[in-house]
Chain A
Amino acid sequence: MSEKVIYVMFDCDGILKDGAKMLVSKGVKISDTFSPFPIHGIDPIIGVKNTRLGIMSFLYGLTGLTLASLGMRFFMIKDWPMNIGGKPNFSYFENLLAFVPISFEFTVLCAAHGMAITYFLRNKTLPGMPAQNPDPRTTDDKFVIEIRTAENSMDEKELDKLIKETGFIEIDKKTI
């Protein structure tokens, strides 16, 4: 038996949410939804796991802080110590205050860029990548639920019967 992907299209995010709730309560596994904007409260319904991007952001920030400190220590203390405003650069700790703004900026820079790049890589949406949404209309005013028969114990007919009960407007199937 060939595996199929079923795309169920909706007119409104509210109907999609109710439909998804109903399908999940009947034991259907929804693999994804597509929408022109974030749908509030859809994550717990279709069982999307909490993002770990925050943890990565902290690690990137820490990397930035370390790099900035090491860099400035080398430039300003070891390699070419300067006397700025009557404050000779004898040790990093004594002039710590002067280094705080740059440490902060570099921490933010690394955290922000690291996060953005990680997000692109993880979602496979780097510039030039092919679009992943099943229908261009999901970038305008339509909403789509994606169900894969491979992830569900029910067969296609049973799924169809359940989907009929939602307020969908269009259904589309693809064989993989």
Chain B
Amino acid sequence: MEFEITKTAKRNIYILLATGLILTLVGVLTGMKSHHFVTRLLTNGLIDSFFFFAMGLGALFFLSLAYATETGWYAAVKRVIEAVAGFLPFGMALMGVVLVVITALDGAHVYQWMDPEVVSHDPIIQGKTAYLNPTFFWIRTIVYFACYLIFLRGFRKRSLEEDKVGGTDLHFMNYKKGALFLVFFAVFSSTSSWDWLMSIDVHWFSTLFGWYTFAGMWCTTMVVLIMVTLYLKKLGHLEKVNDHHIHDLGKWAFATSFLWSYLWFSQFMLIWYANIGEEATYFQMRIENYKLLYFGMFFINFAFPMLILMSRDAKRNAGILTFIGLIIIGGHWVDVYIMVTAGSMGPTAHIGLLEIGMALTVMSIFILVILKNLTKAPLTAHNHPFLDESIHHEI
């Protein structure tokens, strides 16, 4: 439609993809003979597919939040949110493949509770088999995926239809569906993170884990929305988006990075203070073996946005936002990396060519899908009832 992927962008994405694939290949060839290679490969698959899937999911969540609260200002950037949410099916496919392979290999040391051999010797896991067994796990995973897909398709369909017919009927339909999605998401965001990530450290549990994962994903989503919006602005599109919208998106990135830090700290401090052995194992593993990465990641994700994004002018400056955005995305990738790896690989993992290569590969697919989605619809939702409010948005 009005947006075409530029030749430079296409070239850069393919260079990124090729670099990722080459690094992955080199990583595979050099690491193939090592003992835990299959586990390492699947661990990375889970990290990268989850990380980018979560951004799509975060965008879907943000869209339904805006619908349910009848937000006005976002109308001008609505298509950007939809484009990022449009990555969901691809993220699901990637994650689905990884999870199928893991299940087929009896957990492959990633999910120890999938291995009947391990379960038969482990009374703690035996106590959890009513919830953590492959059949129920897959039922839940399919329910999550189906729910997200159905809502995504509905939102997208109504959004495109609104461009043609206008009126407020579709808007109120979106309002209801947005609220309904939030109800499902409130439960699924917690349970899905328990299933996919927390069950890796199968002996350990934390009720805050779902919110902690969700906050990290929300933060990266807001950063991606900022970067895509800034990119489109730079190319001269989205003329209705002004500094005030960018400022608001910047505020979201600032606030959600605080939310994430707050939840990270709450989870950590309560367990640190109570000092109960079965709860502390999770942090013991991470602090003893990944001290620099673990605390470095926290410091980066907390202090950088706090100190740099605090001022009003910084939230309106494209250069600063991009700089901070790249740092936050890297920081949260490391967060997911430690969440998964320290559980599945134990104390010996490190970030090598394979990790970087696979992350770059999935990232280039992620960018390509977002840009493709942007070409499929007009960049402004012309008949959005709040578009006028959004154009006059001023803070």
Contact = CB atoms under 8 A, between A and B. Distances in A.
A53 B268 CA distance: 34
A41 interface: yes
A97 B275 contact: no
Given A40-B394, A58-B310, A86 B275 contact: yes
Nearest to B274: A85
Nearest to A40: B394
Given A54-B312, A58-B310, A97 B394 contact: no
Interface residues of chain B: helix, strand, loop or mixed (majority): helix
B278 to A, nearest CB: 16
A100 interface: yes
B394 A41 contact: yes
Interface of A: 40-41, 54, 58, 85-87, 97-98, 100-101
Contacts of A98: 269, 273
A72 B312 CA distance: 33
Interface of B: 265, 268-269, 272-275, 310-312, 394
B269 A100 contact: yes
A87 B271 CA distance: 13
B265 A100 contact: yes
Contacts of B394: 40-41
Nearest to B313: A50
A54 B312 CA distance: 9
Nearest to B395: A40
Contacts of B310: 58
A97 B272 contact: yes
A85 B275 contact: yes
B247 to A, nearest CB: 14
20 contacts: A40-B394, A41-B394, A54-B311, A54-B312, A58-B310, A85-B273, A85-B274, A85-B275, A86-B275, A87-B273, A87-B275, A97-B268, A97-B269, A97-B272, A97-B273, A98-B269, A98-B273, A100-B265, A100-B269, A101-B269
Nearest to B266: A101
A86 B311 CA distance: 41
Contacts of B275: 85-87
Contacts of B311: 54
